[in-house]
Structure formats: C-alpha cells, structure tokens
Structure 1
Amino acid sequence: MDIYIIRHGETDFNVGEVRFRGQIDVHLSELGVNHALETGKALVDTPIDTIYYSKLSRAKVTAEKIKEHQPKANLTEEPYLFDMSFGDWQGQSLKEVFTFEEEKQWLKDPNDFIIPNGETFYQVLDRIHRLFKRLQKQEEKNIVLVSHGAVINLIFVYLTRTDPSQFYSFYVKPCSITHISLKPDGTYKLIGFNEIKHLS
C-alpha cells in the first residue's frame, strides 16, 4: 500500500506568532485553500482509492480540495487522525504558556511536559498504532491521510520506533506530501518526505 501523508493547509494560527491549535477548529487561510488545490493537482496521476481525514475543518477542506482532482476516491473521516489535544494550552502562544527557559525545554524535549487537560504523546501514539494495524490489513493500493503536524510527527516517531523526545525531528510543512510504502507486516519504505515543490 502506498500512503501519501499530507498536513492540512495553512491557517492563521500557522503564521506570525504560532499558537497551539490542537482540537480548536481553525479554518484554512486563502493560501491554505490554494495550496490544498495544488496538492491535489500534484497527485492527479496517482489513482487514490480513499482520502482519510481528520474531522477538523482545516483537514477536511484540505481533503475535499484534493478530491477535486480525484473524482473516484472515497472521502472518509478518520477519528485516529484527529489532532492532538493540547488541553488548556489551545489557542495560546508559546510565550503565553511558557517562561523563556520552559520554551527552550519544550522545543528540546516536549515529551517532558504534562499538558493540563490534554493528551500525552503516548495516547496519540496508541491511536496511530491502531490506525496502522488496520491499514496493514486493508487491500487499497493508494491512500491519502490528511492530518495535523503533531500527529504526523508522531506517525514517524511510531514508524521509526524513535523516542518521543525526537518529536520535532519529523516536522512537516502545511500541504507537504510525505510518501511511504507500507507492507502487510508493518514494515515501510520512505519514498518522499516533506515535499513542497508543488506549492507556489
């Protein structure tokens, strides 16, 4: 199975003073919508069976714009792709949440922190594990997963069996395309990572 992992398009929370988005329903910016269309165009020669997406509108609209170039693809909401909950931090900037020293530590090893009323990395990794165990059994040839930065980072923590402290090592940009080939035994091959050459 070939899997194209796509981070949703840009939102107002992705530019300027970056804020914890989590499960707040932040909408795509105009640029985010345009980039989603360009991402769909980049995949036009690949017949996609199903586009799975997080129910948050920034991911759903990205998926819908990709589907405009994939009329035969199924469009399916996937709960396991829902963004990580940042609890009490949602909607706040790093500077509103952390002292200077805490912010440095968060960027170095975010797994050290307990997010008040939020999810842990291990809770998100558990749902990623459940998702990939299911995908291993499916017979689709080409699928798209439209999700969020934190979830995609943790997908690669899961696939590479890396410590969650390496969370930021797998950063991907909005509407980037990451392509892996997943085998039924759960092993995978990385074909492309964080590709953005299709974006204007």
Structure 2
Amino acid sequence: MKQKTIYLIRHGETDYNRQGVVQGSGVDSDLNAMGQAQALAFYQAYQHIPFSKVYTSKLRRTRQSVQCFIEAGIPHESYEGLNEISWGAREGKMPNNFDNEYYSTLIKNWAAGHTDYPTEDGESPDQVAQRQKPVIDLLLSRADENPILICMHGRAIRILLSWLMDESLATMDMYEHSNLCLYKLQYDYDTRRFTIEVANDSTHLLALVMHH
C-alpha cells in the first residue's frame, strides 16, 4: 500500500494576526518575534523527520516559518496556488464594526453553501480550491517525495482540508487552526483518499506558552 505523509502547518504569528487584521494574499507581512519563536519550536520538535521537500506559498510568512528546514538543506518550492485567499478591499485594514458585520455575512453565506460568493474585490472559496488543485495534483504525482512539509495560511487550509476530505467547502469552519499548528495527513495511492491523523496540533509550542 503506497502512501504519502503530508505535514501541513499554518505560518507563525505576524503583527497583523496579533492585531486581528486580515492579511490575505495582498499583504506580505513578516513573522513577528513570537512567530519566529514558534517556527524555531516547530523545527526543534520535527527536525528529525526526513522531509523530502518543503512547499510554501509565495508569501514571506510561510517561507519564514520553515526557514530552519530550508537552511538545513531541504529543497524548497513555492506556489501561488498555496497563497491565502484574497480578502480584496479589506486587506491590511484594522477591523471596525462594519467590517465585523461584513465578515459575519460572508462566513454565513459560505456556511450556507454559497462558496462561490467572493470577498469584495477578492476571491471566493471555490476560486481558492481551483488554484489549489493543480498544486496538490503536482505534489501527489511526486510519489517518491515522502514525507513532505507544506506551510500555508488559515483560510486556505480550511478550504484545502474540506475538499481533500471530499466535503463541501461549506463545512470548512470545522477545521480549526492556530499559528504554527500542525495537521498530519496520509494519502493512500490505492484508494486515492486522504485521512487526517493529527488536527490543529500545537503541543510543540507548549514551552513557549509557559515562557510567556
């Protein structure tokens, strides 16, 4: 039975995350000190895994989150298809009450199955899934790369996991995520199915919580 093991992480904390500001794909922020500490803690916990390759989005915060692995010599590729959803007009803006209403309307629409409904001047979940699919197909075609590490973004991870699990994108909010959390997936080449072995795991960050 041929399998591929995929370690899927969300990037570490940025100042925008801390302030509750939406970044999307239009804001290319850096990890803050906490995010860098999270990246190092993840590396220390998982450096023993013999990753064949590291994949990231084109945004700096994902690359910075796996920088230790890249510096250790693991080959790295980045794809725009793995970028965060484009939140369009609201990227990089401090959320106000009007925005909160806008987001809750958006999330309600998506949860009701209207996943073709785009953000203002941005993307819909359906569009994100469409650009993710060719990248995932490419990764699965490289059966000899095993295991691999992918670093992505919160909303993009929710969308990805929904369709990988053959579920409607309307269910995506059940996939919780925090900064530098880990999802561990197994892909079975015979059944062509994914299973989630570990979900939203951040035990590797426990030491940080105790320091702060």
Q: Given the two structures, how large is their TM-score scaled by the length of structure 2?
A: 0.84
Take 1:172 and 1:99, find their aligned partners in 2: how far apart are those partners?
20
**Which residue of structure 1 lines up, in the alignment, with residue 198 of structure 2?**
192
Q: Among 40, 51, 68, which residue is 1:48 paired with?
A: 51
**Which residue of structure 2 lines up, in the alignment, with residue 146 of structure 1?**
151
Take 2:181 and 2:100, find their aligned partners in 1: how far apart are those partners?
31
1:27-67 Cα offsets, whole Å, 9 max, x none, are 11100001001111111221011011112111111121343
Q: Given the two structures, how large is their TM-score scaled by the length of structure 1?
A: 0.89
**Which residue of structure 2 lines up, in the alignment, with residue 116 of structure 1?**
120
Take 1:125 and 1:155, find their aligned partners in 2: how far apart are those partners?
7
The alpha-carbon deviation at position 103 of structure 1 amounts to 4.2
Cα separation, partners in 2 of 1:97 and 1:81, compared to 1, 3 Å: farther
User: 1:108, 1:165 within 8 Å by CA — same for their partners in 2?
Assistant: no
The yes-or-no answer on 1:158 pairing with 2:160 is no
Gaps of 5+ in 1: none
User: 1:128, 1:158 within 8 Å by CA — same for their partners in 2?
Assistant: no
Cα separation, partners in 2 of 1:132 and 1:93, compared to 1, 3 Å: same
Instruction: List, as ranges, runs of 4+ consecutive aligned residues in structure 1 with deviation greater than 4 Å.
Output: none
Q: Among 129, 137, 155, which residue is 1:125 paired with?
A: 129
**Which residue of structure 2 lines up, in the alignment, with residue 167 of structure 1?**
172
**Which residue of structure 1 lines up, in the alignment, with residue 15 of structure 2?**
12
RMSD (Å) for aligned C-alpha atoms: 1.9
Gaps of 5+ in 2: none
State the identity as a percent: 23
The alpha-carbon deviation at position 196 of structure 1 amounts to 0.4
**Which residue of structure 1 lines up, in the alignment, with residue 28 of structure 2?**
25
